[in-house]
Structure 1
């Protein structure tokens, strides 16, 4: 037997752990149990009695969490059995299936949460770390400590544990009712009909996407804190039709908003930005800030809406058909109406943290790379080939551009290198939008015109069921004169409807515009290449069906393969989403750090 040592630092573990990795080519899982009868003879008997010895002794890829003889003895005593022979075949089979994964999962794939593979029993195992006397160890399902890990065998991996793992036997509905903490929610589940759907064994559910479900709910105390002293008061607030089983009733929608398909544990919540709920086209947004998991903590229309915190003490509760979490405060669907979103693409958290962002430290110019080591430096930016997109893609701040005849909002933009034939350029680039409320919006791409730029197709949420391709191509080589207007009169208000009819508009304020304090815009219509270089081009109308942040994609379909250096590149400034029936010309923006906004006169 060849012995090696690997070290792995577990999330939240208190000190570095070392585990032995035992490797052999001629011992399978059953052979390993046979080899150490003083430790595993009872587990070997259970395997034999369950009828699983055949495939655990054959070729395959498995992970077995095997309890020791002492652990099996304690388990049998706890369930009133004297010997392994007292177990039925089904009991033996269920016991093995709950300890067995259909893949090789070593400790380097453990997370502070569920394992990447579900057990053959149909429930996930959770792993974590505990510190006992200054020594950190893995713990499984908060029940069993791993005493020996990563025993590599011919057909899989064995982890030795000191207790038998006990599967959840109560459904989500039963778990909620039995806890005593959720009487309001239990009653609401029954009145809306969700109790029945959450009280079905996962194996009996034909829709595989709904066999496991996640519930994130409030305790009675949280609802009392929110002002509902009784269930009747709570129901009176949320049930508007008088029939909670009606899918249009707000109590039904409230409960549906707290449920989602699949087993979502806290690491899944942290790693995702949204949770799709059973309420049609409604999502819960998620954030992880200062070790707190927050739901619906959103900035909407420039205002931060504080979210609610997940109560981790009463979360990650595995049920027979899913997982249960609790929040510290009430949360519900927010009723919002479509409102214009003026998305400045340079307003990204990672860029704002940089000292040169918008000349924060007095700089008059500077750049920040958007990709490093083959990966995006911004969470809200991605391209089709980050590892190969080696030509510069960067944030650019410059007060003086071409002798100040070219201006953009806040004097900063993203400079992108797009190309169809050069493998070192990106074919498409995607940006994650701010929160968009359900509704129809006209989409305006705002840029600084450049004769060495691409022709792009605009799409929303490409690769998802809600994907949309907008009808108008955006040619970054076009200035406002492409609308048919000339230098002489195009910057006058009378030209606005004419440009709009051609799918163009001015998005920066000229000296003909005044803000509420009488300030004039900085763009001078008389300066050649000034008024017409800041272009807003209509890509089309998009139908946003889910209130959430979305991905907007620019895909190069022609034009010039911009290098992204010097005078080349795609100079992207803003993307505006304006409700289709709202005024499309205003507000307008001004260059410079002051960020003056000009409303319609």
Structure 2
């Protein structure tokens, strides 16, 4: 979810609603107020009372009894049962942010992660200050281990994992199919927190014709897994942290570059088109192109050498179409292991496109061979 703290006028809007109370800890303050009985009962059931009586500091977005009353009665009753303690804890910690964030200071904050691990959405409009779908009705209730801001609804964290979130979005069909073929769905649905730079179906459609079909073959499972892992970073990395870091190590082992220019935020040569979509076990950032891990130069050279040797024999024996197919298949496979921002990938794309326009198999083979020779020369000069 996109999270923006835009409070340039929030302090003025809310200062009149500030409440002065005795500086007890957060729990004592909430109990003394007399309007957070359900919250106190929930904190007790989740064994969170000691934590919120700790040193902190904490910022709590506290739903009133009326806020909890908006939930179905059976929901509250179910959440208070011992077997649902983990779910209750996840909801309650979603209302708590580390640190003491006063209304006048919120304007300086670009993002906030809750103790749940997910981020809270905050916005300002003519409706007032909203925390996710809840309205802030009072602010700056000071406690000696933090501050309470009162909200009029219970806010709920994302409860779908990364795989379920991708399926529900409806625009990552190819990514989900690829994850299944590569045996990575369990990882995306597991407990380990991950950050996924997710290419849309349109992003996969940009790959050369036949690339996806080839990658989905069982014999290419390892190659497909490597490409998908190049889109995944360990932990929850939100957009502003990613931009600040400028680079991140992927599960594939190679780093990705993160930059901002007049084109927008970029991951290698892919554009970020949506950020900070929370899932129960991570976060998704949407990109408009598939990014590909760097190939080992020696491996690429070897594959080009092998293709030329086999292709020359086919060509000299009059098998021009078979030679052209061999060259084309070699370049298509290399496209899946060549970095998305390299000159080599651009050369391969140009050669494949040029050869595709040739109607004569002999000329098609020569076009591909000429391109392969230039690529090999580029790799040689780079050493």
Shared fold (TM-score, shorter chain, > 0.5): yes
1:235 correspondence with 2:212: yes
Contact 1:13 1:131 in 2 (8 A): no
Name the residue aligned to 1:197. 187
1:265 to 238, 261, 268: 238
SS class of match (1:125): coil
| Matched residue, 2:124 | 130
1:586-597 map, 5 Å:
none
**What residue in structure 2 maps to residue 40 of structure 1?**
36
Distance 2:251 2:33 in 1: 49
Trace 1:260-339 onto structure 2 (pairs within 5 A): 260-280=233-253, 282-290=254-262, 292-296=264-268, 307-312=269-274, 315-335=275-295
Aligned position for 1:150: 140
Write out per-residue CA displacement over residues 411-448 of structure 1, whole angstroms, 9 at most, x where no aligned residue. Answer: xxxxxxxxxxxxxxxxxxxxxxxx999xxxxxxxxxxx
State the 1:221 CA deviation: 2.7
Whether the 8 Å CA contact 1:58–1:155 is kept in 2: the answer is: yes
For residue 74 of structure 1, report the CA deviation from its aligned partner: 1.1
The reply on whether 1:217 has 2:198 as its aligned counterpart is: yes
Name which one, 1 or 2, has greater alpha-carbon Rg: 1
Uncovered stretches (5+) of structure 2, i.e. residues with no partner: 299-340, 344-378
SS at match of 2:252: coil
Residue 156 of structure 2 corresponds to residue 166 of structure 1:
yes
Between the two proteins, the alignment pairs up a number of residues equal to 295
Change (3 A) 1:15 1:291: farther
Call closer, same or farther: CA 1:156–1:582 in 2, change over 3 Å.
Answer: closer
Aligned twin of 1:65: 61
Question: What is the CA distance between 1:164 and its match in structure 2?
Answer: 1.1
Q: How does 1:332-371 map to 2 (within 5 A)?
A: 332-335=292-295
Higher RCO (C-alpha 8 Å, min separation 6): 2
Q: What TM-score results when the alignment is normalised by the length of structure 2?
A: 0.65
CA change 1:35–1:179 in 2 (3 A) is: same
RMSD: 3.6
Q: How far apart are the structure 2 equivalents of 1:14 and 1:104?
A: 16
Unaligned residue ranges in structure 1 (runs of 5+): 1-9, 202-210, 297-306, 339-434, 438-578, 584-601
1:64–1:159: 8 Å Cα contact kept in structure 2?
yes
* 1:258–1:156 Cα change, 3 Å: same
Deviations 1:347-378 (A, max 9, x none): xxxxxxxxxxxxxxxxxxxxxxxxxxxxxxxx
Equivalent-residue separation in structure 2 for 1:186 and 1:124 (angstroms): 23
Q: Deviation at 1:127? A: 3.6
Check conservation: 1:65, 1:99, Cα contact below 8 A.
Answer: yes
8 Å CA contact 2:271–2:289 kept in 1: the answer is yes
Query: Does 255-264 or 87-96 show the bigger shift?
Result: 87-96
Shift in Å, 1:225: 4.4
Cα shift at 1:12:
7.1
Q: TM-score, normalised by structure 1?
A: 0.43
Match of 2:36, SS state, is: helix
Aligned to 2:175: 185
Q: What is the DSSP-based 3-state SS (H/G/I as helix, E as strand, rest coil) of the residue aligned with 1:254?
A: helix
Task: Rate the CA distance shift 1:149–1:60 in 2: closer, same or farther, 3 A.
Answer: same
The answer to whether the aligner puts 1:176 opposite 2:153 as a matched pair is: no
Give the 3 Å change call, closer, same or farther, for CA 12–321 of structure 1 in structure 2.
closer
Q: CA deviation at 1:153?
A: 0.2
Distance in 2 (alpha carbons) for counterparts of 1:46 and 1:102: 20
